[in-house]
Chain A
Amino acid sequence: MRGDPRSMELLRPQSAAAAVRMKADHPRAVPLAGGTDFMVAWNAGHLNHRTVLDLSGLDDWKRIRELSGSLWIGALATHATIGEHPAAKRRLPLLVQACAVIGGVAIQNRGTLGGNLANASPAGDTFPPLAVYDAIVHVVSRDGRRTLPVREFFAGVKKTRLGSGELVEAVEVPFLERRPTRRLFRKVGTRAAQALSKTVAAGLLWRGRDRRVRELRFALGSMAPTVRRLAQVEAFVIGKRMTPEMVEEACALLDRDVAPIDDFRSTAEYRLHVSRNLLRSFLEEGQ
């Protein structure tokens, strides 16, 4: 069966206020942003007879604004516009790198950061950068607004902590106060474009003048039902020198915070092996 357009009810708000009102009145309506995920399933005939809340008329939610200490990214900003934004390029390079490896150019032109988050795929490529930047998700409903740290936004595979009347309004990404000693974004997939990740990593490392680690932030995607920061590894390395023994011990702790699975894209063993290699090379680089 194919998607049947006549079976669909379409709500087309032209303002954020109208959108949250409609979402409250139609709690089962599916919010539609760039459609890069929804339309794939709809084309296959899996989503007929749905009410769809088309958000594409909300121009205000497409904007990206540089605030004093953060970047405000409207939920409907596309991966392409984020990747082109001067402040994002200057201050949030890991997010810009992630936006450049999602799908191909045509997907980057349609897919949105808010849609990516609300869709909550375990393989979302922007999530590890958002997790290491400690991004904040701004949520709105008819009853008001609230914020969630991105690490608490996901409840599981394809599940978020959004209430039935809530919509993602924006993602706020704080700028780093200190320049990191080094950083990493790396997606490992079957093919450079289009393919979903087997594992995807983002890392930030600060070292002091004494060469000891001041802070490590390291996040992995596709390695658990949701994006994970490696809390055990991050805590373990603080104050330590980057010796080969220390790096091995840190890598041994990696599986405390992730739980990869075997699926049609990869195996748990391969995912763990590659993720450890990514962490090891990131820590070892220029010991």
Chain B
Amino acid sequence: MVRLRVNGKGRSFAGPPFKRLIDVLREDFGLTGTKEGCGEGECGACTVLLDGRPTNSCLIPVAQAAGRRVETVESLGKPERLSPLQQSFLTEGGAQCGICTPGMLMTAWSWIRAGGSADEGAIRNLLAGNLCRCTGYQHIVNAVVQAVKARRRRGRSR
């Protein structure tokens, strides 16, 4: 039995411990926001936060997440009440087909929450492991820059 915390809730998984974290999230926990792109750790679509840090959930056997905190895109907002970062992607046109978006959001959220800067170069470096097949990078970077700035204006809530 593998026990872990997913989006703040204690969860357990009784299947094979080598099952990939992405498959457990999607198939066993019903959290289908996390997408699989390449399955090789190249594209970043499957990015979730493991103990607060972005990781490729396609490269992690669920046993390696035992006792740890996992955060997925479902932890950010809901369709009727988006998080400020999600709203920024919408406002700036930072999503096209949407496959890369959950991974982009989670990588960006770890940065914003840790107090990362609004420097465009630093944000491009941060997102270098998240590929967008629609190549909408400029809008994605703009969305993150704007979200950082908005958070600074607001103070620190979300």
* Contact present for A35 and B61 (CB under 8 Å): yes
The CB with the most chain A CB atoms within 10 A, among B42, B61, B63, is that of B61
Residue total for B at the interface (Cβ-Cβ under 8 A) = 29
Partner of A109 from the list B18, B53, B64 (CB cut-off 8 Å) is: B53
Which residues from 31 to 53 on chain A have a C-beta closer than 8 Å to any C-beta of chain B? Answer: 32, 34-36, 39-40, 43-44, 52
Min CB–CB distance A156 → chain B (angstroms): 24
Min CB–CB distance A160 → chain B (angstroms): 22
Residue B129, interface by CB 8 Å:
yes
* Contact present for A104 and B130 (CB under 8 Å): yes
Which residues from 1 to 43 on chain B have a C-beta closer than 8 Å to any C-beta of chain A? Answer: 15-20, 39-42
* Contact present for B59 and A40 (CB under 8 Å): yes
A-chain residues with CB within 8 Å of residue B58 when the two chains form the complex: 39, 43
- Chain B: CB-nearest residue to A9: B18
In the complex, A52 Cα to B47 Cα: how many Å? Answer: 24
The CB with the most chain A CB atoms within 10 A, among B39, B55, B58, is that of B55
Residue B102, interface by CB 8 Å:
no
Residue A174, interface by CB 8 Å:
no
Residue A105, interface by CB 8 Å:
yes
Residue A103, interface by CB 8 Å:
yes
Residue B82, interface by CB 8 Å:
no
A-chain residues with CB within 8 Å of residue B86 when the two chains form the complex: none
A-chain residues with CB within 8 Å of residue B44 when the two chains form the complex: 104, 106
The CB with the most chain B CB atoms within 10 A, among A39, A107, A194, is that of A39
In the complex, A264 Cα to B41 Cα: how many Å? Answer: 19
Residue A80, interface by CB 8 Å:
yes
Partner of A43 from the list B16, B20, B47, B130 (CB cut-off 8 Å) is: B20
| Known contacts A5-B18, A39-B60; A109/B41 CB under 8 A | no
B-chain residues with CB within 8 Å of residue A56 when the two chains form the complex: 63-64
B-chain residues with CB within 8 Å of residue A12 when the two chains form the complex: 17, 63
* Contact present for B56 and A5 (CB under 8 Å): no
Residue B128, interface by CB 8 Å:
yes
Which residues from 82 to 119 on chain A have a C-beta closer than 8 Å to any C-beta of chain B? Answer: 103-107, 109-110
The CB with the most chain A CB atoms within 10 A, among B18, B19, B44, is that of B18
* Contact present for B41 and A39 (CB under 8 Å): yes
In the complex, A223 Cα to B15 Cα: how many Å? Answer: 44
Min CB–CB distance B71 → chain A (angstroms): 13
* Contact present for A106 and B107 (CB under 8 Å): yes
Residue B94, interface by CB 8 Å:
no
Q: List 7 A-B contacts (CB under 8 A).
A: A5-B16, A8-B16, A36-B59, A56-B63, A80-B53, A103-B129, A105-B129
Question: What is the interface of chain A, defined by CB distance below 8 A to chain B?
Answer: 3, 5-6, 8, 10, 12, 32, 34-36, 39-40, 43-44, 52, 54, 56, 80, 103-107, 109-110, 192-194
